[in-house]
Amino acid sequence: MERLVHGKPLVYLDTASTAQKPRVVLEATARAEAAAANIHRGVHQLSVEATEAFEGARASAARLLGGARPEEIVFVRGTTEGMNLLAQTHGRARVGPGDEVLVTGLEHHSNLVPWQMLCAEKGARLRVLPLDDRGDVALGSVSELVGERTRVVAVSQASNSLGTVVPVAAIAARAKAVGATVIVDGAQGVVHGPVDLAALGCDFYVFSGHKLYGPTGTGVVWGRYGLLEAMPPWQGGGDMVLEVRLDGATYREPPHRFEAGTPNIVGVIGLGAAIEWFLALGPERARAHDRALVAYALEVLAAVPGLRFVGAPRERIGVISFLLGDNHPHDVGTAVDFEGVAIRTGHHCTQPVMDRFGVTATARASFGVYTTREDIDRLAGALVRASALLGGGGEAKP
């Protein structure tokens, strides 16, 4: 993106929050807006074209998640809605009094609060895989915490606040041994490399479109078709029914059963364009680029006076949280913004993670496929000047 911020070229390091969009996505959404029509219900040409583009996006999402079928792809507004859908349909049917739901200490609020609500409603127990001092999941606790009362295991593929890559496959293997369902929050996983559903061993996989270079208000729930078939609808309305009578209704098969009403048609078409763009770029290339940037950034930022990393996971995606001396992260974020550098500050919707590390907030730099080494250098320089401006420095700590 060619843009000046405060008179300086923009360096965008907030991709974990939302990604910038490639031109093909902007063009796809503009075309869809220019020829607006509803889907599935019309026989006129505009409706047919909109339906084909919308369902084409479903096929693209299935290709992205190797091994998925289009009829296993449910469109939602994002990971938050996807997790609420699963908690209120599959979870509500699966979890009863005295049962247990397992999450990790890394979870985004979108994969924590819905399960807290369900457990409170059902009289179930929410159990948490703890974090070690590096910010990795304490895998040794899995055998202790997964037992005969475990019904659902819902874990992030990667942390949005520390960058930690979670050993999903190992957790899933234990969960499967006791017959639990495995749900993966892939919001930060799908954007940083290829997804292998079989290798993960999950039953459901959820992600947001706006982190995958697509529009906001879009997302995907993938589920094994047999499980989707067994789930009741979550919302009622048009397009999710085969027949409606005054005394009841007959519901459609998945995925349409879970897509009541007029969806975000333009957004989903844009998501399809983003997925095709990402597939053409190459998820493996994206992963290699991400790993190289992380290694470079850790080296460069460690030299910034007063900078302290929060978390040091053994394997991470392109997300780095840090503090700068005694300064509040919001002040740090404001200072570097005046240098044209956009980072995130706050608790990143992971307050339990902040509590684990004894902080209320961090500054966070996160990378996308468009991030360069020069961007990291600009961040480091901006942080050095911010440290001098704000004070509260100290020795850099890796």
List pLDDT tens digits, range 85-108.
Answer: 999 999 999 999 999 999 999 999
- Give the confidence band of 2 by pLDDT, cuts at 50, 70, 90: confident
Domain with CATH 3.40.640.10 in the chain: 23-280
For residues 345 and 332, is the Cβ–Cβ distance under 8 A? yes
Q: What is the largest CA-CA distance in the chain?
A: 72
Section 29-43 average pLDDT: 93
Which helix (H) or strand (E) segment holds residue 296: the answer is: helix 283-301
Contact residues for 113 (Cβ-Cβ < 8 A; gap 6+): none
For residues 225 and 36, is the Cβ–Cβ distance under 8 A? no
pLDDT at residue 41, as a whole number: 82
Q: Which is the CATH superfamily of the domain at 4-21+282-390?
A: Aspartate Aminotransferase, domain 1 (3.90.1150.10)
- Give the confidence band of 67 by pLDDT, cuts at 50, 70, 90: confident
Using the predicted structure, report yes or no on whether residue 398 has a pLDDT greater than 50.
Answer: no
Across all residues in the chain, what is the average pLDDT?
A: 96
Strands (E), the chain: 4-5, 8-9, 11-12, 65-66, 73-76, 100-104, 125-129, 150-156, 181-185, 195-196, 204-208, 219-223, 241-245, 248-251, 307-309, 319-324, 341-342, 344-346, 362-366
Domain with CATH 3.90.1150.10 in the chain: 4-21+282-390
Give the number of other CB atoms < 10 A from CB of residue 147: 13
pLDDT over 70 percentage in the chain: 98
The SS3 assignment for 387 reads: helix
What confidence tens digit (pLDDT) does each residue in 185-205 have?
999 999 999 999 999 999 999
pLDDT at residue 353, as a whole number: 98
Using the predicted structure, report yes or no on whether residue 214 has a pLDDT greater than 60.
Answer: yes
CA 208 to CA 188: how far, in whole Å? 9
pLDDT over 90 percentage in the chain: 96
- Give the confidence band of 275 by pLDDT, cuts at 50, 70, 90: very high
Using the predicted structure, report yes or no on whether residue 393 has a pLDDT greater than 60.
Answer: no
**349 catalytically annotated:** yes
CA 10 to CA 393: how far, in whole Å? 26
CA atoms within 13 A on the CB side of 82: 28
Q: Which residue in the list 173, 349, 384, 396 is annotated as catalytic? A: 349
**What one-character-per-residue DSSP string does 115-182 give?**
HHHHHHHHT-EEEEE-B-TTS-B-GGGHHHH--TTEEEEEEESB-TTT-BBP-HHHHHHHHHHTT-EE
pLDDT-wise least confident of 34-48, 206-220, 283-297: 34-48
Q: What is the pTM of this model?
A: 0.96
CATH of 23-280, one of 3.60.15.10, 3.10.129.10, 3.30.360.10, 3.40.640.10: 3.40.640.10
Could you identify the residue written with the tokens 């996971």? 313
For residues 397 and 307, is the Cβ–Cβ distance under 8 A? yes
pLDDT at residue 396, as a whole number: 35
DSSP 397: B
CA 59 to CA 394: how far, in whole Å? 52
CA 369 to CA 285: how far, in whole Å? 9
For residues 260 and 239, is the Cβ–Cβ distance under 8 A? yes
Using the predicted structure, report yes or no on whether residue 35 has a pLDDT greater than 70.
Answer: yes
Section 66-95 average pLDDT: 97
Could you identify the residue written with the tokens 């392109």? 318
What confidence tens digit (pLDDT) does each residue in 165-186 have?
999 999 999 999 999 999 999 9
